[in-house]
Structure 1
Amino acid sequence: MNTRTESHFTHIDPDLYAKAFELLDPTPEPNAPAASAAPAPASFILAAPPVRLTGAVEKTLTDALNFLDTHGWAKHRLIHPEGARCSIGALRAAAGARNAAYEGAGNLLLDEARRQHGNQWESIPSWNDSHSGAQVRSVWEAAIRCAHHMNI
Protein backbone atom coordinates (compact mmCIF):
# COMPACT_ATOMS: atom_id res chain seq x y z
CA MET A 1 0.00 0.00 0.00
CA ASN A 2 1.43 3.33 -1.03
CA THR A 3 -0.46 5.89 0.94
CA ARG A 4 1.13 9.27 0.99
CA THR A 5 0.19 11.74 3.58
CA GLU A 6 1.34 15.23 3.01
CA SER A 7 0.86 17.78 5.72
CA HIS A 8 0.61 21.22 4.23
CA PHE A 9 -0.64 23.29 7.10
CA THR A 10 -1.32 26.94 6.58
CA HIS A 11 0.31 29.20 9.11
CA ILE A 12 -2.24 30.97 11.33
CA ASP A 13 -1.57 34.44 12.62
CA PRO A 14 -1.41 34.10 16.44
CA ASP A 15 -3.22 37.44 16.81
CA LEU A 16 -6.14 36.10 14.75
CA TYR A 17 -7.89 34.51 17.74
CA ALA A 18 -7.46 37.60 19.90
CA LYS A 19 -8.94 39.72 17.10
CA ALA A 20 -11.85 37.31 16.69
CA PHE A 21 -12.63 37.45 20.42
CA GLU A 22 -12.49 41.25 20.31
CA LEU A 23 -15.08 41.20 17.53
CA LEU A 24 -17.28 38.83 19.51
CA ASP A 25 -17.05 40.91 22.70
CA PRO A 26 -16.17 44.49 21.76
CA THR A 27 -16.72 45.95 25.24
CA PRO A 28 -13.39 46.59 26.93
CA GLU A 29 -12.85 45.25 30.39
CA PRO A 30 -13.02 47.93 33.12
CA ASN A 31 -9.65 49.34 34.12
CA ALA A 32 -8.01 47.60 31.17
CA PRO A 33 -5.22 49.38 29.35
CA ALA A 34 -6.43 50.96 26.11
CA ALA A 35 -3.92 49.32 23.80
CA SER A 36 -0.77 47.41 24.39
CA ALA A 37 1.98 46.41 22.06
CA ALA A 38 1.90 42.76 23.14
CA PRO A 39 -1.11 40.70 22.05
CA ALA A 40 -3.59 39.95 24.77
CA PRO A 41 -3.80 36.32 25.84
CA ALA A 42 -6.57 34.45 24.12
CA SER A 43 -9.59 33.91 26.28
CA PHE A 44 -11.63 30.76 26.14
CA ILE A 45 -15.39 30.56 26.03
CA LEU A 46 -16.74 27.57 27.87
CA ALA A 47 -19.81 26.19 26.23
CA ALA A 48 -22.78 25.66 28.49
CA PRO A 49 -24.26 22.19 28.53
CA PRO A 50 -27.01 21.77 25.97
CA VAL A 51 -30.40 22.87 27.19
CA ARG A 52 -33.00 20.14 27.11
CA LEU A 53 -36.31 21.44 25.87
CA THR A 54 -39.45 20.02 27.39
CA GLY A 55 -41.45 18.02 24.85
CA ALA A 56 -45.07 18.88 24.08
CA VAL A 57 -46.40 15.67 25.69
CA GLU A 58 -44.39 16.19 28.89
CA LYS A 59 -45.51 19.83 29.05
CA THR A 60 -49.16 18.87 28.56
CA LEU A 61 -48.98 16.22 31.30
CA THR A 62 -47.17 18.58 33.68
CA ASP A 63 -49.58 21.43 33.01
CA ALA A 64 -52.56 19.11 33.50
CA LEU A 65 -51.23 17.83 36.84
CA ASN A 66 -50.60 21.44 37.92
CA PHE A 67 -54.19 22.19 36.92
CA LEU A 68 -55.41 19.35 39.14
CA ASP A 69 -53.25 20.60 42.00
CA THR A 70 -54.61 24.13 41.60
CA HIS A 71 -58.30 23.47 40.85
CA GLY A 72 -58.85 20.06 42.39
CA TRP A 73 -59.45 16.52 41.18
CA ALA A 74 -62.92 15.11 40.53
CA LYS A 75 -64.60 11.78 39.90
CA HIS A 76 -67.66 10.95 37.81
CA ARG A 77 -67.80 14.28 35.97
CA LEU A 78 -65.61 16.16 33.55
CA ILE A 79 -65.88 19.48 35.41
CA HIS A 80 -67.17 19.87 38.93
CA PRO A 81 -69.25 23.03 39.57
CA GLU A 82 -66.48 24.35 41.83
CA GLY A 83 -63.85 23.94 39.07
CA ALA A 84 -62.26 20.59 39.90
CA ARG A 85 -61.80 18.27 36.94
CA CYS A 86 -61.27 14.61 36.25
CA SER A 87 -58.06 13.49 34.56
CA ILE A 88 -59.40 13.84 31.02
CA GLY A 89 -60.81 17.28 31.86
CA ALA A 90 -57.41 18.39 33.15
CA LEU A 91 -55.75 17.09 29.96
CA ARG A 92 -58.22 19.06 27.83
CA ALA A 93 -57.61 22.21 29.87
CA ALA A 94 -53.83 21.84 29.60
CA ALA A 95 -53.72 21.02 25.89
CA GLY A 96 -56.23 23.68 24.86
CA ALA A 97 -57.30 21.54 21.90
CA ARG A 98 -57.39 17.95 20.79
CA ASN A 99 -53.98 18.13 19.19
CA ALA A 100 -51.03 15.74 18.92
CA ALA A 101 -49.76 16.64 22.41
CA TYR A 102 -53.21 15.96 23.89
CA GLU A 103 -53.42 12.57 22.16
CA GLY A 104 -49.86 11.62 23.10
CA ALA A 105 -50.38 12.64 26.72
CA GLY A 106 -53.66 10.74 26.92
CA ASN A 107 -52.13 7.60 25.43
CA LEU A 108 -49.16 7.75 27.78
CA LEU A 109 -51.40 8.36 30.79
CA LEU A 110 -53.67 5.41 29.89
CA ASP A 111 -50.66 3.16 29.23
CA GLU A 112 -49.27 4.01 32.67
CA ALA A 113 -52.69 3.48 34.29
CA ARG A 114 -52.84 0.02 32.71
CA ARG A 115 -49.28 -0.72 33.82
CA GLN A 116 -50.06 0.19 37.43
CA HIS A 117 -53.68 -0.94 37.69
CA GLY A 118 -54.24 -3.66 35.06
CA ASN A 119 -55.12 -3.85 31.39
CA GLN A 120 -58.88 -3.78 31.90
CA TRP A 121 -59.11 0.04 31.60
CA GLU A 122 -60.62 1.11 28.28
CA SER A 123 -60.49 4.84 28.89
CA ILE A 124 -59.02 7.49 31.15
CA PRO A 125 -62.42 8.43 32.66
CA SER A 126 -63.24 4.83 33.66
CA TRP A 127 -59.82 4.43 35.27
CA ASN A 128 -59.99 7.88 36.95
CA ASP A 129 -63.42 7.17 38.48
CA SER A 130 -62.31 3.81 39.93
CA HIS A 131 -59.25 4.93 41.88
CA SER A 132 -58.24 7.14 44.78
CA GLY A 133 -56.57 10.51 44.40
CA ALA A 134 -53.21 9.07 45.50
CA GLN A 135 -53.44 6.28 42.92
CA VAL A 136 -54.37 8.73 40.17
CA ARG A 137 -51.53 11.07 41.13
CA SER A 138 -49.04 8.19 41.07
CA VAL A 139 -50.03 7.43 37.48
CA TRP A 140 -49.74 11.09 36.48
CA GLU A 141 -46.26 11.40 37.98
CA ALA A 142 -45.07 8.19 36.32
CA ALA A 143 -46.45 9.32 32.95
CA ILE A 144 -44.59 12.63 33.27
CA ARG A 145 -41.33 10.81 34.09
CA CYS A 146 -41.88 8.51 31.11
CA ALA A 147 -42.49 11.47 28.75
CA HIS A 148 -39.35 13.14 30.12
CA HIS A 149 -37.21 10.04 29.51
CA MET A 150 -38.71 9.60 26.04
CA ASN A 151 -38.08 13.32 25.37
CA ILE A 152 -41.58 13.83 24.01
Structure 2
Amino acid sequence: MNTQTQNDFSPLDAGLYAAAFQLLDPQPVAPEAPSAPVPVPSSPAIAPPAHRPGPVEKTLTDALGFLDTHGWARHSLIHPEGARCSIGALRAAAGARNTAYRDAGNLLLDEARRQHGKKWQTIPHWNDSHTGAQVRSVWEAAIHRAHRLGI
Protein backbone atom coordinates (compact mmCIF):
# COMPACT_ATOMS: atom_id res chain seq x y z
CA MET A 1 0.00 0.00 0.00
CA ASN A 2 1.42 3.36 -0.96
CA THR A 3 0.22 6.44 0.80
CA GLN A 4 0.57 9.62 -1.12
CA THR A 5 2.07 12.49 0.77
CA GLN A 6 0.41 15.04 -1.44
CA ASN A 7 -2.78 16.33 0.04
CA ASP A 8 -4.99 19.36 0.16
CA PHE A 9 -3.56 20.57 3.46
CA SER A 10 -1.77 23.84 3.48
CA PRO A 11 1.83 22.71 3.86
CA LEU A 12 3.65 23.95 6.89
CA ASP A 13 6.47 21.54 6.46
CA ALA A 14 6.33 19.02 3.61
CA GLY A 15 8.97 16.87 5.34
CA LEU A 16 6.78 16.63 8.46
CA TYR A 17 3.92 15.17 6.40
CA ALA A 18 6.28 12.75 4.66
CA ALA A 19 7.64 11.55 8.01
CA ALA A 20 4.12 11.14 9.46
CA PHE A 21 2.91 9.16 6.47
CA GLN A 22 6.05 7.01 6.57
CA LEU A 23 5.15 6.04 10.16
CA LEU A 24 1.63 5.17 9.04
CA ASP A 25 2.77 3.23 5.97
CA PRO A 26 6.05 1.48 6.79
CA GLN A 27 7.96 -0.54 4.22
CA PRO A 28 6.44 -3.97 3.61
CA VAL A 29 7.94 -6.86 5.54
CA ALA A 30 8.30 -10.32 4.06
CA PRO A 31 5.34 -12.47 5.03
CA GLU A 32 5.86 -15.04 7.74
CA ALA A 33 5.21 -18.70 7.20
CA PRO A 34 1.59 -19.53 7.88
CA SER A 35 0.96 -20.87 11.34
CA ALA A 36 -1.69 -23.23 12.57
CA PRO A 37 -5.06 -21.57 13.14
CA VAL A 38 -5.64 -20.52 16.69
CA PRO A 39 -8.90 -21.91 18.03
CA VAL A 40 -11.30 -19.30 19.27
CA PRO A 41 -12.91 -20.31 22.51
CA SER A 42 -16.63 -20.61 22.07
CA SER A 43 -18.82 -18.74 24.48
CA PRO A 44 -22.42 -19.56 25.10
CA ALA A 45 -24.82 -17.38 23.18
CA ILE A 46 -25.98 -14.57 25.36
CA ALA A 47 -29.72 -14.26 25.17
CA PRO A 48 -31.37 -10.97 25.92
CA PRO A 49 -32.71 -10.86 29.45
CA ALA A 50 -36.11 -12.47 29.70
CA HIS A 51 -38.92 -10.16 30.71
CA ARG A 52 -40.01 -10.82 34.25
CA PRO A 53 -43.35 -9.19 34.82
CA GLY A 54 -43.97 -7.44 38.11
CA PRO A 55 -46.72 -8.73 40.38
CA VAL A 56 -49.34 -6.29 39.05
CA GLU A 57 -48.57 -7.05 35.39
CA LYS A 58 -48.61 -10.78 36.13
CA THR A 59 -51.94 -10.58 37.95
CA LEU A 60 -53.52 -8.59 35.12
CA THR A 61 -52.06 -10.88 32.45
CA ASP A 62 -53.18 -14.02 34.27
CA ALA A 63 -56.66 -12.58 34.81
CA LEU A 64 -57.04 -11.70 31.13
CA GLY A 65 -55.84 -15.20 30.27
CA PHE A 66 -58.50 -16.55 32.60
CA LEU A 67 -61.15 -14.48 30.78
CA ASP A 68 -59.84 -15.74 27.43
CA THR A 69 -60.00 -19.35 28.61
CA HIS A 70 -63.20 -19.41 30.66
CA GLY A 71 -65.16 -16.50 29.20
CA TRP A 72 -66.26 -13.05 30.27
CA ALA A 73 -69.51 -12.39 32.09
CA ARG A 74 -71.71 -9.47 33.08
CA HIS A 75 -73.92 -9.12 36.15
CA SER A 76 -72.37 -12.16 37.81
CA LEU A 77 -69.10 -12.71 39.61
CA ILE A 78 -69.05 -16.29 38.35
CA HIS A 79 -71.40 -17.54 35.65
CA PRO A 80 -72.66 -21.13 36.14
CA GLU A 81 -70.62 -22.21 33.10
CA GLY A 82 -67.39 -20.77 34.57
CA ALA A 83 -67.17 -17.35 32.90
CA ARG A 84 -66.34 -14.48 35.22
CA CYS A 85 -66.65 -10.74 35.33
CA SER A 86 -63.49 -8.63 35.53
CA ILE A 87 -63.33 -8.60 39.33
CA GLY A 88 -63.92 -12.36 39.41
CA ALA A 89 -61.04 -12.88 36.98
CA LEU A 90 -58.78 -10.68 39.14
CA ARG A 91 -59.66 -12.73 42.21
CA ALA A 92 -58.98 -15.99 40.37
CA ALA A 93 -55.62 -14.74 39.10
CA ALA A 94 -54.41 -13.26 42.39
CA GLY A 95 -55.57 -16.19 44.52
CA ALA A 96 -56.04 -13.86 47.48
CA ARG A 97 -56.85 -10.26 48.17
CA ASN A 98 -53.20 -9.33 48.41
CA THR A 99 -51.25 -6.23 47.39
CA ALA A 100 -50.94 -7.33 43.75
CA TYR A 101 -54.72 -7.89 43.61
CA ARG A 102 -55.47 -4.42 45.02
CA ASP A 103 -52.87 -2.66 42.85
CA ALA A 104 -54.02 -4.50 39.72
CA GLY A 105 -57.64 -3.59 40.48
CA ASN A 106 -56.74 0.05 41.04
CA LEU A 107 -54.78 0.18 37.78
CA LEU A 108 -57.61 -1.53 35.88
CA LEU A 109 -60.21 0.89 37.28
CA ASP A 110 -57.95 3.86 36.55
CA GLU A 111 -57.58 2.70 32.95
CA ALA A 112 -61.36 2.18 32.69
CA ARG A 113 -61.82 5.78 33.84
CA ARG A 114 -59.28 6.97 31.29
CA GLN A 115 -61.09 5.27 28.44
CA HIS A 116 -64.71 5.52 29.57
CA GLY A 117 -64.96 8.55 31.86
CA LYS A 118 -64.44 9.33 35.52
CA LYS A 119 -67.90 8.24 36.67
CA TRP A 120 -66.99 4.58 37.29
CA GLN A 121 -66.63 3.88 41.01
CA THR A 122 -66.15 0.12 40.92
CA ILE A 123 -64.86 -2.49 38.51
CA PRO A 124 -68.12 -4.50 38.53
CA HIS A 125 -70.21 -1.43 37.68
CA TRP A 126 -67.87 -0.52 34.81
CA ASN A 127 -67.63 -4.17 33.63
CA ASP A 128 -71.43 -4.58 33.50
CA SER A 129 -71.92 -1.37 31.50
CA HIS A 130 -69.60 -2.13 28.58
CA THR A 131 -69.14 -4.56 25.73
CA GLY A 132 -66.60 -7.37 25.75
CA ALA A 133 -64.42 -5.49 23.25
CA GLN A 134 -64.45 -2.35 25.41
CA VAL A 135 -63.59 -4.35 28.52
CA ARG A 136 -60.76 -6.16 26.72
CA SER A 137 -59.33 -2.86 25.49
CA VAL A 138 -59.10 -1.62 29.07
CA TRP A 139 -57.47 -4.86 30.23
CA GLU A 140 -54.85 -4.69 27.47
CA ALA A 141 -54.08 -1.03 28.18
CA ALA A 142 -53.74 -1.74 31.91
CA ILE A 143 -51.34 -4.63 31.23
CA HIS A 144 -49.29 -2.44 28.89
CA ARG A 145 -49.17 0.32 31.51
CA ALA A 146 -48.10 -2.10 34.26
CA HIS A 147 -45.34 -3.35 31.94
CA ARG A 148 -44.14 0.21 31.23
CA LEU A 149 -44.16 1.02 34.94
CA GLY A 150 -42.37 -2.21 35.80
CA ILE A 151 -44.94 -3.16 38.42
TM-score by length of 2: 0.70
Extract unaligned runs of 5+ from structure 2: 1-35
Deviation at 1:50, TM superposition (A): 2.6
Which residue matches 2:64? 65
Alpha-carbon displacement from aligned partner over 1:47-104 (angstroms, at most 9, x marks no partner): 4333321111111111111111111111111111111110000000000000111111
Which residue matches 2:122? 123
- Counterpart-to-counterpart distance in 1, 2:127 and 2:47: 42
Match runs of 1:45-60 below 5 Å: 45=43, 47-60=46-59
Which residue matches 2:80? 81
Which structure would you say has the larger Rg? Answer: 2
Which residue matches 2:27? none
Deviation at 1:143, TM superposition (A): 0.5
Read off the aligned partner of 1:54 and give its amino acid letter.
P
Tell me if 1:43 matches 2:41.
yes
Deviation at 1:42, TM superposition (A): 5.8
Q: Give runs of ≥4 in structure 1 deviating > 6 Å.
A: none
Read off the aligned partner of 1:102 and give its amino acid letter.
Y
Read off the aligned partner of 2:105 and give its amino acid letter.
G
Deviation at 1:139, TM superposition (A): 0.3
RMSD: 1.7
- Counterpart-to-counterpart distance in 2, 1:116 and 1:95: 24
How many aligned residue pairs are there?
A: 115
Identity rate, percent? 75
Extract unaligned runs of 5+ from structure 1: 1-37
Alpha-carbon displacement from aligned partner over 1:96-131 (angstroms, at most 9, x marks no partner): 000111111101100100000000000100100110
- Counterpart-to-counterpart distance in 1, 2:52 and 2:75: 35
- Counterpart-to-counterpart distance in 1, 2:39 and 2:123: 63
Read off the aligned partner of 1:43 and give its amino acid letter.
P
Alpha-carbon displacement from aligned partner over 1:126-149 (angstroms, at most 9, x marks no partner): 100110111000000100111111
TM-score by length of 1: 0.70
